[in-house]
C-alpha cells in the first residue's frame, strides 16, 4: 500500500485536535468524578436527648431501632462521637457555627423568647455550603433564639434561621415544652389569626390565663419540676402564652408533621445539591408519641418516641431512595446531648426503664461533665461511597463545618472547627486530637484516651433529674480506654499525666 504523506501543517492540526479531544475527555471525566464526590446532598439528622445506649446498634437490647441500625451497618458507626455540650442550645450553636459554645457567654439553655444567639455576621454551616451552590433548609427544633430581644410573634420575625444562612426554615422556636407552642415558617407563625394575637412572657402570667398551678384539673400530663406555667393541649409548659389558638401545634402529630416537611423538602429541592438540617424533637420532653406508637416499647412514652423517631428516619430514607437521590446523599446522624429520664414530667420513664441503659455503660447523662453527657450516637452514611466500618476516631459535631466545607471545596479556618473529613468518611483511623466538652458552663478536656475534669464548686448531683453532674472540688482524671464507666479517678496516682492534661487544657482555653 502506498503511504499518504500529509503536509506538515495538516499533521500538526490533526495532532492538536487529537490532543484537545483527549484532554477534553479527561477533564469531563474528572469533572464528573469531582461533581459526584464534592456535591452530594447533605442531611444532618439530629435527635434531642438521645443517649449513647438508646439504640440497638449501640448495644440496646430492650429497644430495637432497625432504621437507624441500617445507617450504622451501612456506614461508619463512631464509638467516640461527641456533642460539644451536655445541653441542647450550646450543642446546636457549636454544630451550626463551628465555635465552642463556652466562648459565648449567652450560649446556655435559652427561654422561648430569647434573642438570636448566632450573630448574623457569623460564619455558619449553611452559609458555607451556600457558597458551594447548595440550597439550605432546616426542618424541626431550633432553640437558638429569634429576633433581637422583644419578639412580636404576630409579624415576620427577624433575625431568624433565614438570616444566618438557611434559605428555608420550618421550626419550633425553642423546645416542645416551652412556649410559644407554634410552628414558624421563614419567620412567620403558621396559621396565625391576626384577630387572636400571640403574647409570650417568661416572667409573669397574663391575667386570667390558666396555669398548672391554678388549674391542675386541665392537665393530661403531670409536671414534676419546672413545667407548671401555661397549659397547651393538656400539657403544662415552661413560660406563659396567650392567644394564637388556631396556630397551636398538635403534640402527638409533631413527628409526622416534621417528617412530611422533610420529605417535601427533598422532593422540591432534588434538582440541585441541598443541605437539610432535620432536627427532630424526640426523645425530649414532653414525650407525646402518636397513637400508632403508644405502648410499642413497653417502656412508656420515652421508649415509644424513640421507636417513633426510628420509624420517621426509615420513612425519610425511603423518600431519598424514591426520589433517586439516596446514593448522592451524605447522612450525618447524631444527638445534641446525652439521655435524661425524668426531665420535668411524670411519664414513667424511670418506672418502666427495666433493663434498658440509656447511657450505654457510660457515667452521667444530660447536664453532666461525665461521658454520658456529651458522648452520643454518631453515624455517617453515604451509600456506595462510605465503606461500612466501626471507628474509634475522636469526632465532634463542631467539626462538621470545616469537614463538610472541605468536602465541597470551601475552606474555612475562622472557627474552632477542624477538618476531620477523612475520619468522617471512614478513611482515617484518627479524628481530632483534643476536644473541650462543656456542661452548665463548666468545661473539661478529652485528649486521646484520657479525660480530665478540673475542680468546680457545686453539687455532685442534679437532684431534679437524678444525674451526676461530674462536679467535684478535686481534679478528676480517667483513662477511658480502660475505664469507660469512669469508676477510678487517677488524678493522684498519675500526677504526670494530670499535669500534661492541665497544660493542654489551659493552652486550648486561651
Per DSSP bridges, beta strands 389-396 and 76-82 are parallel
* List of the chain residues with pLDDT < 70: 1-38
The reported pLDDT for the residue numbered 12 is 44
DSSP 4-17: PPPPHHHHHHHHHH
The reported pLDDT for the residue numbered 149 is 86
C-beta of residue 338 within 8 angstroms of C-beta of residue 282:
no
The reported pLDDT for the residue numbered 25 is 32
Q: Prior bond to 320 cis, omega within 30? A: no
The reported pLDDT for the residue numbered 38 is 53
The reported pLDDT for the residue numbered 8 is 42
What does the pLDDT look like over 267-290, one tens digit per residue?
Answer: 999 999 999 999 999 999 999 999
- The b-or-e profile of 226-253 (16+ CB within 10 A means b, else e) is ebbbbbbeebbbbbbbbbbeebbbebbe
DSSP summary character for residue 75: S
pTM for the predicted model, two decimal places: 0.92
| Cα(473)–Cα(493) distance, integer angstroms | 17
| Cα(254)–Cα(251) distance, integer angstroms | 5
- The b-or-e profile of 144-164 (16+ CB within 10 A means b, else e) is bbbbeeebebbeebebbbbbb
C-beta of residue 304 within 8 angstroms of C-beta of residue 353:
no
Find all residues with CB under 8 Å of 331, minimum gap 6, and list them: 43, 45, 71, 75, 379, 380, 381, 382
Q: Prior bond to 7 cis, omega within 30? A: no
The reported pLDDT for the residue numbered 504 is 98
| Cα(310)–Cα(507) distance, integer angstroms | 41
C-beta of residue 135 within 8 angstroms of C-beta of residue 269:
yes
| Cα(430)–Cα(485) distance, integer angstroms | 22
Cell numbers representing residue 483 in the block = 475505664
**Is residue 338 helix, strand or coil?**
coil
DSSP summary character for residue 178: B
The reported pLDDT for the residue numbered 510 is 87
Amino acid at each position: 500500500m502506498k503511504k499518504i504523506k500529509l503536509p506538515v501543517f495538516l499533521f500538526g492540526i490533526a495532532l492538536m485536535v487529537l490532543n484537545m479531544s483527549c484532554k477534553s475527555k479527561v477533564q469531563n471525566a474528572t469533572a464528573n468524578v469531582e461533581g459526584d464526590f464534592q456535591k452530594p446532598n447533605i442531611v444532618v439528622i439530629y435527635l434531642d436527648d438521645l443517649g449513647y445506649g438508646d439504640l440497638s446498634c449501640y448495644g440496646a437490647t430492650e429497644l430495637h431501632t432497625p432504621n437507624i441500625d441500617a445507617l450504622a451497618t451501612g456506614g461508619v458507626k463512631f464509638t467516640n462521637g461527641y456533642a460539644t455540650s451536655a445541653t441542647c442550645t450550646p450543642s446546636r450553636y457549636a454544630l451550626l457555627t463551628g465555635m465552642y459554645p463556652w466562648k459565648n457567654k449567652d450560649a446556655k439553655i435559652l427561654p422561648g423568647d430569647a434573642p438570636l444567639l448566632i450573630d448574623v455576621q457569623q460564619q455558619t454551616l449553611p452559609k458555607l455550603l451556600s457558597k458551594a451552590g447548595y440550597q439550605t433548609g432546616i426542618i424541626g427544633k431550633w432553640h437558638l433564639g429569634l429576633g433581637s430581644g422583644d419578639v412580636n410573634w404576630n409579624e415576620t420575625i427577624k433575625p431568624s434561621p433565614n438570616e444566618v444562612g438557611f434559605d428555608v426554615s420550618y421550626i419550633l422556636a425553642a423546645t416542645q415544652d416551652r412556649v410559644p407552642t407554634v410552628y414558624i415558617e421563614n419567620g412567620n407563625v403558621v396559621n396565625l389569626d391576626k384577630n387572636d394575637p400571640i403574647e409570650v412572657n417568661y416572667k409573669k402570667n397574663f391575667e386570667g390565663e390558666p396555669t398548672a398551678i391554678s388549674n391542675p384539673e386541665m392537665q393530661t400530663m403531670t409536671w414534676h419540676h419546672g413545667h407548671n406555667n401555661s397549659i397547651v393541649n393538656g400539657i403544662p409548659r415552661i413560660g406563659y402564652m396567650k392567644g394564637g389558638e388556631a396556630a397551636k401545634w398538635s403534640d402527638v402529630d409533631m413527628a409526622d408533621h416534621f417528617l412530611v416537611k422533610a420529605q417535601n423538602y427533598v422532593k422540591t429541592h432534588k434538582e440541585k445539591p441541598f443541605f437539610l438540617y432535620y432536627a427532630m424533637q424526640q426523645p425530649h420532653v414532653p414525650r407525646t408519641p402518636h397513637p400508632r406508637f403508644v405502648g410499642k416499647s413497653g417502656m412508656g412514652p420515652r421508649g415509644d418516641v424513640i421507636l417513633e423517631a426510628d420509624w420517621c428516619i426509615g420513612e425519610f430514607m425511603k423518600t431519598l431512595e424514591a426520589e433517586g437521590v439516596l446514593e448522592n446523599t451524605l447522612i450525618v446522624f447524631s444527638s445534641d446531648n446525652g439521655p435524661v429520664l425524668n426531665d420535668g414530667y411524670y411519664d414513667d420513664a424511670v418506672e418502666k426503664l427495666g433493663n434498658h441503659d440509656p447511657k450505654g455503660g457510660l457515667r452521667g447523662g444530660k447536664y453532666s461533665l461525665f461521658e454520658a453527657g456529651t458522648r452520643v450516637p454518631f453515624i455517617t452514611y453515604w451509600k456506595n461511597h462510605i465503606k461500612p466500618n466501626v471507628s474509634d476516631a475522636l469526632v465532634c459535631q463542631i467539626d462538621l463545618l470545616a469537614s463538610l466545607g472541605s468536602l465541597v471545596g470551601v475552606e474555612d479556618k475562622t472557627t474552632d472547627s477542624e477538618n476531620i473529613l477523612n475520619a468522617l468518611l471512614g478513611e482515617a483511623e484518627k479524628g481530632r486530637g483534643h476536644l473541650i466538652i462543656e456542661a452548665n458552663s463548666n468545661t473539661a478536656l478529652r485528649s486521646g484516651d484520657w479525660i480530665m475534669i478540673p475542680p468546680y464548686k457545686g453539687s455532685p448531683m442534679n437532684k431534679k433529674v437524678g444525674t451526676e453532674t461530674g462536679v467535684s472540688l478535686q481534679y478528676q482524671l480517667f483513662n477511658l480506654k480502660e475505664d469507660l464507666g469512669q469508676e477510678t479517678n487517677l488524678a493522684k496516682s498519675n500526677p504526670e499525666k494530670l499535669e500534661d492534661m492541665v497544660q493542654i487544657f489551659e493552652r486550648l482555653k486561651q
